[in-house]
Structures are given as C-alpha cells and as structure tokens.
Amino acid sequence: MTPANHEAARRAADLDHRKFAASRLWAVAKMPYLATALFAADLDPAPGTGTVGVDRRWRVRADPETFARLSTDELGRLLVHLVSHLVRDHAARAEVSAPDAADRWNRAADAEVNDDLQPLALVPAAAPDLPGRFGLEPGHVAEEYLREVRGDRLWDCGSGCDGKIRPGEGAERGTGGAAGIDPRQATALRLGLAAEIHRAAGREPGSVPGGWLRWAETVLPSRVDWRRVLAAELRRQLAAVAGAVDYTYRRPSRRAEPAGPVILPSLHRPIPSVAIVCDTSGSMHAQLLGRVLAEVDGILARVGVRDARVLAVDTAVHAVRRVSSSRQVELAGGGGTDMGVGIAAAAALRPRPSIAVVLTDGYSPWPTEAPKGLRVVVGVFTQRRAPSSPMPPPWARAVLIDE
Ligand SMILES: [Zn+2]
C-alpha cells in the first residue's frame, strides 16, 4: 500500500467521535434513565458492514460511511434503539428462541423495542419495525412477535440483537481498541438500570413507557413476588413454544386423500412439557425446597401445564418422577451440586421437555452454552446465597426466590 492509499484507508476507518458524543448526549436528554447504558456503549469502527449495530460486548460497531450519513438526531434515536437491544438482552434471548431465524428475530426485537420508543417519537427511521406492521398488538415481547414476523430485516442491529457473532468481534479489543463490557458487568449494569427505572417511574408516574417498567420488574424480582415473575416467565416461554408450529409428516393430513399417494404435511402444534430440576445438595434446605416445589406446581397448573417431570439432582440425577402433584415427589440426594448434570438429564428425557425449571441456591457450575431446544428458567434461593456465588448463566432466565 502506498502512503497515500494508506492514508485514505485510515481516513475511511475514521469515525467522528465528537458526533457520537453529541448524539449520545441528545439520547441521554431524551431518556435519562438509560444514561448508564448509553455511556457504557463504546464506539468501534466496522468498515464494510454497511450498518451501525451493536455487538455482544456492548460496542457500537459502525461502518464509517453509514455512520457519516446519519444526522446527529437520527444517530441519537438509533443509539437509544440499539442500547435497548443490549439492556433487554436480545442476544441471549435469540439463542434460545430464534437460533436459526436471525433476520426475523431482529425484526421482532425491533418491534418490541420501538413499541416503547414510539410515544416519545424516538423510533429510528433506519429501523422502523413496529408491532402494527405485522398486524400485532403492542405491549408484547419479541418471542411473541416472532410467530407472525416474516421477511428480511430492514436494518442489521448486530450480534447484540441476534446473538450471531460477526467476523472481528470476538476479541476483547475491537478494531479501534474499544473494550466494551463483559457479561458480568452487563448483568450488574442491568440491575442498576432497573433500579433507576423504578425510581424514575416513582418520581414522575407516566414518565417511563410500560415496556420498560415491565422489563425492570423482571430484572428486580426482589421487589415483586417471585411467583408472579415465574408465572409471567412461564407464560412467555409457553407462548413461544406453543407458537412454534411446525409442519410434520407424523400424522397424515386430511388433505392427503385427493392428492393420492403423496403424503402432505399436517399442521402440528407441540404441547409444551415441563421438567423441574431440583437441587437436593447438602446446601439446600429440604423443607424450603418442598414448599417452593408445591408452589411451582400450583403456578404450572394455573398456566395450563398439568403434567411435569421432576428430577432430584446433586452431582448426579437421583430420581425422575412424573407428577401431577408435588406431594408425589421424593427428594433424594445430598453432597455437592452440578445443575449442568440436571439440565443435561432434562434435555435427554423422552418425550423431550421444552422448558426446564431449575430450583437451586446457585452454588453450582453451569454449562457455558444453552442446551439446544430447551428453555431454562432458574429459580435461585437467595436465603443462603453468598453475594460471590455464581449467577445462573446469561442464556437462562433467572428468578430470585426470597423466602
Ligand atoms: Zn434493532
């Protein structure tokens, strides 16, 4: 490369950091309770991508040419939108709900995010999807929208939205040196934000859009009844599972007759089934676990699950029972804890459950990756939990059980 070419390449990778700072201040003024999240997002060049998106380490990855075309206000709207994906952890949710549907997930997640930005006139022109575009009601989450959403995404919001790591993103330092933040820091940041949103809503009722309040409630379960959080989570997961309509050849379609020897696929709605993985290690209080299990049972019945299987797990799986009532469950076990073993055992059950509810005090190693096709909700008993004990992994939905 000649020095002149080199200089041109360097300029092409240049991003106007002052413009970024101005857009960020503009965004903070519009949504003050998202300030910490907006300031956590670092700018990093991503030449040739044709987009301004976010990665899983909270870096704003910007194609310098695309970046240069956006006005300060439009960039500000886009920043609020992209940071909303990060705060709501759309990447981890995509891994569970849309591992093979990145484009549709991006659109569904955009509808969820923009739903709360519309009343504030903050929907970015570049990524304008709203629930109404797909004939859907507002106030729902991406997992529910995903069922009806079709077509390619209008704007690539990045791996921070769809979970798919792009080339050059894996490193701790980005192309321009931006470090971003790690999953542990992101979890702490979300907790702080949820508290800030609660305070803002308390100071000035109506100032925070409903979707943000609902989000804060699920992140701050200690402020609300864990039963409500678990029920809401199960309903959300069940809605996603029940919506996973697939065409199956298992049962012949009634349309098969006129078609002669050709077997047509029939529409098959899987009935969601639930496995409950109970941590029965020495650190767990058996009486407390029994009581919570009875309550989980009640919650399952209310959301329409009649038949759950219960696994008693410490470092091995001791008992698998098909129960219609927790009274039928014997809790065997003791010793150490490895909930990864329990999750793997749940995933291996036949018929295969679609949701696993793990009840534990959290003193457990966790698998680094989500089990394929199994949604995991972790109820963490906080009573005996030391602040240093590892939180459930980001791919699982955690609910704190305060007793
Ligand atoms: Zn988006």
For residue 323, the model assigns a pLDDT of 57
Residue 109 Cα to ligand 1 midpoint, Å, equals: 6
Residue 79 Cα to ligand 1 midpoint, Å, equals: 10
Residue 61 Cα to ligand 1 midpoint, Å, equals: 13
Six-digit token pair at 108?
Answer: 């569904």
Of all helices (H) and strands (E), which one includes residue 299? helix 286-303
State the average pLDDT over residues 200-208: 82
State the average pLDDT over residues 92-112: 94
pLDDT band for position 256 (cuts 50, 70, 90): very low
Q: Strand 42-45 to strand 59-62: parallel, antiparallel, or no bridges (unpaired)?
A: parallel
For residue 250, the model assigns a pLDDT of 44
- How is 199-227 classified by DSSP, letter by letter? HHHHHSTTSS-HHHHHHHHHH-GGGS-HH
Task: Render pLDDT for 209-244 as a digit per residue (tens, 0 to 9).
Answer: 888 988 887 776 554 567 777 788 778 777 777 665
Cis ω before 221 (30° cut-off from 0): no
| Prediction pTM value | 0.59
Residue 233 Cα to ligand 1 midpoint, Å, equals: 23
Beta strands per DSSP E along 269-313: 274-279, 308-313
Residue 329 Cα to ligand 1 midpoint, Å, equals: 45
- Identify the three-state secondary structure at position 394: coil
- Considering only residues 322 and 82, tell me which one the structure prediction assigns the higher pLDDT: 82
Task: Render pLDDT for 328-344 as a digit per residue (tens, 0 to 9).
Answer: 555 665 666 788 889 99
State the span(s) of the chain assigned CATH 3.40.50.410.
273-401
Residue 168 Cα to ligand 1 midpoint, Å, equals: 20
Q: Tell me the C-alpha distance between 183 and 95, whole Å.
A: 15
Task: Render pLDDT for 3-32 as a digit per residue (tens, 0 to 9).
Answer: 555 555 555 568 999 999 999 999 999 999
For residue 192, the model assigns a pLDDT of 83
Residue 283 confidence (pLDDT) above 70: no
Cα-based distances in Å from 322 to 242, 308, 327: 21, 6, 12
Task: Render pLDDT for 108-127 as a digit per residue (tens, 0 to 9).
Answer: 999 999 999 999 999 999 99
Residue 211 Cα to ligand 1 midpoint, Å, equals: 16
For residue 132, the model assigns a pLDDT of 95
pLDDT band for position 262 (cuts 50, 70, 90): low
Task: Render pLDDT for 364-391 as a digit per residue (tens, 0 to 9).
Answer: 778 888 888 888 888 887 665 444 455 6
For residue 251, the model assigns a pLDDT of 45
Residue type, 268: H
Lowest mean pLDDT among 155-164, 172-181, 249-258: 249-258
- Considering only residues 198 and 43, tell me which one the structure prediction assigns the higher pLDDT: 43
Residue 286 confidence (pLDDT) above 90: no
For residue 247, the model assigns a pLDDT of 46
Say which CATH topology domain 273-401 has: Rossmann fold (3.40.50)
Residue 195 Cα to ligand 1 midpoint, Å, equals: 24
Mean pLDDT of the chain: 81
- Considering only residues 38 and 199, tell me which one the structure prediction assigns the higher pLDDT: 38
Residue 77 Cα to ligand 1 midpoint, Å, equals: 11
Residue 255 confidence (pLDDT) above 70: no
